[in-house]
Amino acid sequence: MAIFLNILFLILGMVLLIKGADFFVSGASAVAKRFKIPSLFIGLTIVALGTSLPELSVSLAGAIKKNVDMSVGNIVGSNFMNLFLIFGISALIRPTQIKKTSKKLDFPFLIGITFLLLLFSVDTYINGANTNIITRTESIILIIVFLIYMMLSIFIAKKEHQLMFDAPPPENAENQKKAEKDLKIWQIVLFIILGLGAVVFGAECVSTTAQFLAKKIGMSDTLVGLTIVAIGTSLPELATSVIASVKGETELAVGNLIGSSIFNIALILGSVGLITPINVSSTILIDTLILFVFTTIFSVLCMAKKNISKWMGALFIFMYVAYLIFAIVRNYCF
């Protein structure tokens, strides 16, 4: 009976994720069009923060319960999924253009914040400590870096908004103006709230079901965090980014994934560290090192190209699958 109910919750969660993401992307896109805000900025802020709520709730709950292995594993696993699986799928659906602002700000910040996570996790190698601990001071540094990133993003968005305001209207300005008025303000707010609510609740249904099934087959807390919980809490990003790519809102998809990955480490892990110092196990340390190497490769490739082609999307998916196989084999064989 329990298994049957979990399957029902799984189906319900998937439906809510898909429909919720559809509403959420429509609402966020309407905000960008109505107020002439770049879609990339909307993706990096509103959408990224909204779709990161499941990671935030799961990680904070883990910290309160002193289960930091699952909290850190959730963040590391979510970033693997965001940057490689979801980004790869989005690129396979529609080649993704990389803006100059992302190359100058978002990808360097992504590399930097991942390096900070690795640096804060290697106390045994740097100062000879007995354990690797992310302290409250280091957590505050992560949050400060997040605030700096947000301020720079807002500054760049305002600059781009001014350029758009000063630019002459395009030939299809009338059509764009008409499209902007398709949704009224209250409709946009309703779309965003209902869409986000459905996405978060759907992710909770899927994540809870996945954890129940995972425990049945003997997975460790670390592996559950790196895989099942990470996949469950990343479903909002998956649903939102795929829907955005299908609708041609590739900037929204890119901003969502990069923004969520930065939020995961800087804001969410920083918040967890404020509640309780984070003890980084040797297993998580290895995964963090792999994440840093993979993130650097990912960011360099993205900064070197104007567009992320389908073959690059396939490469990113392969990298994720390779890591997933490694994590599963390590759990059962070592």
Q: What is the pLDDT of residue 97?
A: 78
CA neighbours closer than 13 Å in the CB half-sphere of residue 189: 3
* CB 228, CB 217: distance < 8 Å: no
Q: What is the pLDDT of residue 140?
A: 95
Q: What is the pLDDT of residue 46?
A: 65
Q: For residue 296, what are the contacts with CB-CB under 8 A and spacing of at least 6? A: 111, 114
Q: How confident is the model at residue 43 (pLDDT cuts 50, 70, 90)?
A: low
Say how many Å lie between the first and final Cα of the chain, rounded: 34
Q: What is the pLDDT of residue 313?
A: 92
The total of other beta-carbon atoms located within 10 Å of residue 23's CB is: 20
Q: What is the pLDDT of residue 13?
A: 77
pLDDT score of 37 more than 80: no
3-state DSSP call for residue 184?
coil
The pLDDT of 21-42, averaged and rounded, is: 71
Q: For residue 241, what are the contacts with CB-CB under 8 A and spacing of at least 6? A: 86, 87, 89, 90, 253, 256, 257
Model confidence pLDDT, tens digit, residues 86-95: 999 988 988 8
Q: How confident is the model at residue 170 (pLDDT cuts 50, 70, 90)?
A: very low
What is the spatial distance between Cα 266 and Cα 158, in angstroms, rounded to a whole number? 23
The pLDDT of 289-300, averaged and rounded, is: 95
Determine which helix (DSSP H) or strand (DSSP E) holds 270, and give its type and residue range: helix 270-275
Q: What percent of the chain has pLDDT over 70?
A: 75
Model confidence pLDDT, tens digit, residues 200-259: 787 677 667 766 766 676 777 677 777 777 777 677 778 778 888 888 877 777 777 888
pLDDT score of 180 more than 50: no
More reliable by pLDDT, 177 or 119? 119
Q: How confident is the model at residue 164 (pLDDT cuts 50, 70, 90)?
A: very low
More reliable by pLDDT, 75 or 2? 75
Mean pLDDT of all residues belonging to the chain: 79
pLDDT score of 47 more than 70: no
Q: What is the pLDDT of residue 186?
A: 81
Q: What is the pLDDT of residue 151?
A: 84
pLDDT score of 178 more than 50: no
Q: What is the pLDDT of residue 179?
A: 45
Model confidence pLDDT, tens digit, residues 100-110: 878 888 899 99
The pLDDT of 295-319, averaged and rounded, is: 91
